[in-house]
Amino acid sequence: MTTKRTHITIRNNKIFKNGVLFFEAAPYLTLKDFLKAAWKNLKVKYPKFYKMDEVSKLGVLAAEILLIDEPHKAFNEEEVGVILSNAHSTLVTDTEHWNSVKDDSNFFPSPAVFVYTLPNIMVGEICIKHKFKGENAFFITEQYDAEMIFQHFNLLKTQNKIKAAIGGWVDQSQDDYLVEMFWAE
Amino acid sequence: MKQVYFTGDSIISSLGFSSQENFNQLKNGITGIRKMNNPVFYPEPFIASLIDRQKVNVLFPDDQYTLLEKILILSVKDALKSSYVDISSGKTVIILSTTKGNIDLLDKSLAARFDKQRVLLWKLGEMIAGYFGNPNKVRVISNACISGVLAINDAAMLLQNDIYENAVVVGGDIVSKFVLSGFMSFHSLSPEPCKPFDTNRDGLSLGEAAGTVILSVNPPKQNEKLLFAGGASANDANHISGPSRTGEGSYIAIKKALKEAEIETANIDHISAHGTATPYNDDMESIALSRHNMSSIPVNSMKGFWGHTLGAAGIIETIALLWEMKHNTLIQTKGFQEAGTVEPLNVITQTEQKELNYCLKMASGFGGCNAVLVIKKVNS
Amino acid sequence: MEELIEKLKLQIIEQLNLEDVEPDEIDPEEPLFGDGLGLDSIDALELIVLLEKEYGIKIENPKDGQKIFFSVKSLAEYILAHQK
């Protein structure tokens, strides 16, 4: 039987763990500053966090809190997958990259920006930090479809490809963001 | 678990507007990679494999659709011709594989004709489903360069488990200033057409394409059938842009796929690798294969023909593999001359005949992701 | 030279998103790509962008970067020698 053990929600500069407020920052803080405050609050030493774009930071932050109780320690690295989704792919970072190349007279593409113009990079960042080597997938849907993500995980589990997974939704648009992330096994 | 059969397919690329046209060019060793000089794409000359865009507009003049939508739809239409699957049925799901979709719409001059939403990938999926009257939500997979293989694996899994009866798996990406400039910033593009596995390889060549492969639980009429035998994905858990020095993710994915296919490594007759011709990727694949004792299995890369077509790659290269299997033909690795991977590979240098029953497709991508699939041939 | 080195330190911290690093923590003679700052292959490419954007110096082959970016000092010396 599959159970969803933990659930993280991040919205409006608030983080909820299993429905209980875990961290909040002033609502007027930009996403950038909220992410910095939330990450520092965890007291995790991982300077790579600051190189990521905002949507990847959201995903990595959520995963970090999701895994605080270490549900993943019961599994080996190949048994844990990461299945995420969103509506906007990496649109905010795409715009940043486009702005650096659209004008030939001010043409300075940055590899550190470009690499983040793929939505599955956040999956990669989570896998790197926590050493997850199982199945990956990134879906784009108009709204969060928890059932679809859960079904995908269940099918993979039925086929013995993975035994547990981080799943959910990490979305950032030009003026909003939302994270819904769960741990399932 | 239901059996999953490959039915129709189609490739639209620099080499032609159908799988047959493309396969003929592959057999004749013709590459679609060209030197280009077009400041719309990049301020300096560059190498790429572009589709005949004028012909696209002749075949599909309705300018309410974007270039990418046109080639995706043309590809699906063409694939349906050789399949018995009904795309308008509720039992058929469409799965779309793309890395950047209509990203050229970020250019304000192009965007004027289209709604802002069209740059969103779920909207791209909706345009395809709407054209064909498919009632289901399109599953859009955007997972870097493994998207195509992942989409086929996803399709197979849904069909094996009775969620749908048929899956139309379509993938595509276009060459754009956005993508070209990004790869240039990585200094990962070769100044010449790419040379997979070659000792002098120095980077990839970009390409654009659309590919469609149609899967069904209902078997085709012919005696010889090609089936999905197994597939898996795995992450290196190492670096977001550099391939694993131990080929970790590829190694794990191959292991899991072979397990699902219930075969040993020795059963694989031929491998279609990712083979982008960057120094690190090709080394990584050679290491992963060596760890599985698969170094002597004939291997090729299609990147020398089509360039790296990103979201289309996993689909069109799998179609090439299907056609190799249908015709028991191994296609040469265009661009390869002298071996130069850290572990040896048995690179196919000339197009030749070989009995092919089990074949493996490999793919890797930014984000440390890797995906593989196994195809088997069955005669009833 | 000193001024350029201090300016470079700040630019490097900014361009490479080295959040918790202070300029005086970077020894101008120590290898940039040693263990200290945890820089990787993308950072090496970013330094190429920095050189072009801020100093108008283009590096065609990333492999040349290894010597140029060895330390902040070697980078400063290269800039002084090549800046237009």
**pLDDT tens for each residue of A25-39:** 999 999 999 999 999
Name chain B contacts of C41, Cβ cutoff 8 Å: 239, 241-242
Helix or strand (DSSP H, E) at B181: helix B177-185
- The average pLDDT across C46-70 equals 92
| The listed CATH number (3.20.20.140, 1.10.10.1100, 3.30.1330.10, 1.10.1200.10) that belongs to domain C2-82 | 1.10.1200.10
Q: How many CB pairs under 8 A join A and B?
A: 160
User: Tokens in use for B176?
Assistant: 């754009």
A95 chain-B contacts, CB cut-off 8 A: 106
Q: Round to whole Å and give the CA distance between B12 and B35.
A: 20
Task: Work out the minimum CA distance from A105 to partner chain C, whole angstroms.
Answer: 12
CB contact under 8 A, B239 and C40: yes
Rounded to whole angstroms, the Cα distance separating C82 from B134 reads: 61
Residue B70 has pLDDT above 70, yes or no: yes
Contacts of A159 in chain B (CB under 8 A): 157, 160, 260
Partner residues linked to B379 by β-bridges: B224
* Residues of chain C positioned with their CB less than 8 A from the CB of B240: 42
DSSP symbols for B136-164? SPPEEE-BTBTHHHHHHHHHHHHHHTTS-
Q: Is C41 on the interface with B (CB under 8 A)?
A: yes
Q: Count how many pairs of residues, chain A against chain C, have C-beta atoms within 8 Å.
A: 31
Q: Which member of A47, A50, A108 has the closest CB to residue C49?
A: A108
Coil/strand/helix, residue B338: coil
Share of chain B above pLDDT 90, in %: 97
* B227-379 has the same fold as B5-216: yes
Give the model's pLDDT for residue B109.
86
Is C48 within 8 Å of chain B by CB? yes
CA-to-CA dists, residue B26 to B14, B172, B304, B354, angstroms: 12, 19, 10, 16
Q: Please write the tens of the pLDDT for every residue from B235-274.
A: 999 999 999 999 999 999 999 999 999 999 999 999 999 9
Predicted confidence band of residue B368 (pLDDT cuts 50, 70, 90): very high
A 89-118 near B (Cβ less than 8 A): 89, 91, 94-95, 97-98, 101-102, 104, 107, 109-111, 114-115, 117-118
Q: Which residue numbers in chain A have pLDDT < 70?
A: 1-2, 4
Domain boundaries, chain A: 4-184
Extents of the domains making up chain B: 5-216, 227-379
Nearest to B321 by CA among B272, B254, B376: B272
For the domain bounded by B227-379, which CATH number is listed? 3.40.47.10
Report residue A157 CA to chain centroid gap: 21
Condensed to tens digits (0 to 9), the pLDDT of residues A52-89 reads: 999 999 999 999 999 999 999 999 999 999 999 999 99
Give me the residue spans of the domains in chain C.
2-82
Interface check B219 vs C, CB under 8 A: no
Residues 209-268 of B with CB under 8 A from A: 232-241, 248-249, 252, 256, 260
> What is the average per-residue pLDDT within B46-65?
97
Contacts of B183 in chain C (CB under 8 A): none
For chain B, say whether C1 makes contact (Cβ under 8 Å): no
- ipTM value greater than 0.95: yes
Measured CA to CA, the distance from residue C75 to residue A113 in angstroms comes to 23
pLDDT tens string B279-297: 999 999 999 999 999 999 9
- Rounded to the nearest angstrom, the minimum Cα separation between C79 and chain B is 20
CA angle B33, B34, B36 (to 5 degrees): 135
Q: Give buried/exposed letters for A74-105 (b at 16+ CB in 10 A, else e).
A: ebebbbbbbbbbbbbbbbbbbebbbebbbeee
Task: For residues B288 and B246, give the distance between their C-alpha atoms in angstroms, rounded to a whole number.
Answer: 7
Q: What residue ranges in B158-250 does DSSP mark as E strands? A: 166-173, 206-207, 209-216, 224-235
In DSSP notation, chain A reads ---EEEEEEEETTEEEETTEEEEE--TTS-HHHHHHHHHHHHT---GGGGGS-HHHHHHHHHHHHHTTT-GGGGS-GGGEEEEEEESSTTHHHHHHHHHHHSSGGG----HHHHTTSSTTHHHHHHHHHHT--S-EEEEE-SS--HHHHHHHHHHHHHTTS-SEEEEEEEEE-SS-EEEEEEEE-
Quote the distance between the C-alpha of residue B103 and its chain's center: 19
Q: Do B233 and B369 form a contact (C-beta atoms < 8 A)? A: yes
Pick from B185, B239, B240: which is nearest to C45 by CB?
B185
Which residues numbered 29-48 in C keep a CB inside 8 Å of some CB on A? 38, 42-43, 45-46
Which pair of structure tokens corresponds to residue B40? 């719309």
Contact residues, chain C, for A51 at CB < 8 Å: 16-17, 42
Contacts of A152 (CB under 8 A, 6+ apart): A83, A137, A139, A167, B154
Q: Which two tokens stand for residue B206?
A: 């970009």
CATH level 2 (architecture), domain A4-184: 3-Layer(aba) Sandwich (3.40)
Average pLDDT over residues B156-162: 98
The two tokens of residue B76 are: 């699906």
Question: What's the gap in Å between the CA of A32 and the closest CA on chain C?
Answer: 12
Distances (CA, A) of B48 to A7, A115, B45, B134, B165: 45, 20, 10, 34, 38
Mean of pLDDT values over C60-72:
90
Please tell me which chains touch A, using 3 or more CB pairs under 8 Å as the contact test.
B, C
> Any CB–CB contact under 8 A between B64 and chain C?
no
CATH of the domain spanning B5-216: 3.40.47.10
State how far the Cα of B220 lies from the Cα of C48, in Å rounded to an integer: 55
Contacts of residue A173, Cβ cutoff 8 Å, sequence gap at least 6: A87, A88, A91, A92
- Is the sign of the CA dihedral B253, B255, B260, B264 positive or negative? positive
What is the Cα–Cα distance from A79 to A72, expressed in whole angstroms? 9
Q: What whole-number distance in Å separates Cα of residue B160 and Cα of residue B162?
A: 6
CB C37 within 8 A of CB C26: yes
pTM above 0.90, yes or no: yes
Quick one: angle between helices B313-326 and B19-27, nearest 10?
A: 70
Which of A47, A110, A111 is the closest to C38 by Cβ?
A: A47
List the 57-86 stretch of A: residues with Cβ below 8 A of B: 77-78, 82
